[in-house]
Amino acid sequence: MKKFILIFLIFVFNMIAFSGIVYVHSVSANIPQNLFEYAGSRSNMIYYLELFNDGEEKGYLISGWFFTPVKPIEKTKILIEYDNFKFEYNIDNKISKIYSDIPLHLIICPSNSEIKIGEIYLPNNDNEKRNTKDVIKNIPKIQEMGIFTFTIENGEVLLKNLFDQNEEIYILINAGIRKTGGFSIDIKSYEIKNSQIVIEGELKEPSKNEIVTQAFTFPSIQIKIGKLKPGNYVIKANIKNLGIFTKTIEIK
């Protein structure tokens, strides 16, 4: 609790003293991982927690990692842009055996700023389209294992089972909550045949001697199915080391 109070005092001080100015600083605090949103891929993940956005300034806590089994990444560049102003800041990563970890940092900047951590923009309505098409952000943290289906509307993920035939459909296969990093789901194949969608894959687990990120993670993978004709569809996913899951969706 004392650490949270200290961070809050830092926020207040900087909102008063640094109004309209970009502020980036390392933070030493134990923040529960489940408070963070995340964006990225299996090789690079950014965790972010929006602390405030009052229309003039906004504040984030950010951290993350790069999977670097061959060559470490020693620095992560933060790029913050607003109006005609550009601010760059380099974070010294902490290098482990196969990961380059981004230490926890506090960012305070004007509300209209775009924030880029490495190659990943923190999601907002203005920069949603600038991120890689294969990276889907703002997916809710789901602790249950299984199949979930969703579409994207105005940049927001909408989990549901009933779709319109003009909607783009995505399948999310989730491995639940894990105590460390190092987990990933690989899709070997998927096939849409008649009224069935059959998926084959595998949950990859870290080896006993592997050094992994010591934080809760939510390993999952998304498959874009696209538009489907009206009817009921049964999704069957056989994921090695995880289980067999089924789900029925309806397209009207």
Task: Verify that 122 and 180 share a domain, yes or no.
Answer: no
Q: What is the pLDDT of residue 60?
A: 93
Phi, psi values for residue 70, rounded to 5°: -100, -55
> 162 and 91 share a domain?
no
206 belongs to a structural domain: yes
Q: State pLDDT tens for residues 112-165.
A: 899 999 988 887 644 433 333 344 555 667 778 999 999 988 778 889 999 999
Please check whether residue 137 lies inside any domain of the structure. Answer: no
Quote the pLDDT of residue 45: 85
Last residue of a domain, one of 130, 154, 186: 130
> Which domain-ending residue is among 130, 158, 187?
130
pLDDT of residue 2: 45
Q: Are 65 and 116 within one domain?
A: yes
Q: Which helix (H) or strand (E) holds 40?
A: strand 37-40
* Same-domain pairing of 149 and 32: no
- pLDDT tens string 163-185: 999 999 999 999 988 888 788 88
Asked whether residue 14 is domain-assigned, the answer is yes
- Which domain range does residue 238 map to? 145-251
Q: What is the pLDDT of residue 149?
A: 93
In a domain, 140, yes or no: no
Distance between CA atoms of residues 190 and 28, nearest Å: 44
For the residues of 166-206, what is the DSSP string, one character each?
TS-EEEEEEE--BSSS--EEEEEEEEEETTEEEEEEEEE--
pTM: 0.49
Write down the pLDDT at residue 187.
85
Residue 55 lies in a domain: yes
Q: Are 117 and 78 in contact (CB under 8 A)?
A: yes
Asked if 243 and 174 sit in the same domain, the reply is: yes
- List, for residues 48-93, the tens digit of each pLDDT value: 998 888 888 899 999 998 888 889 999 999 999 988 788 999 999 9
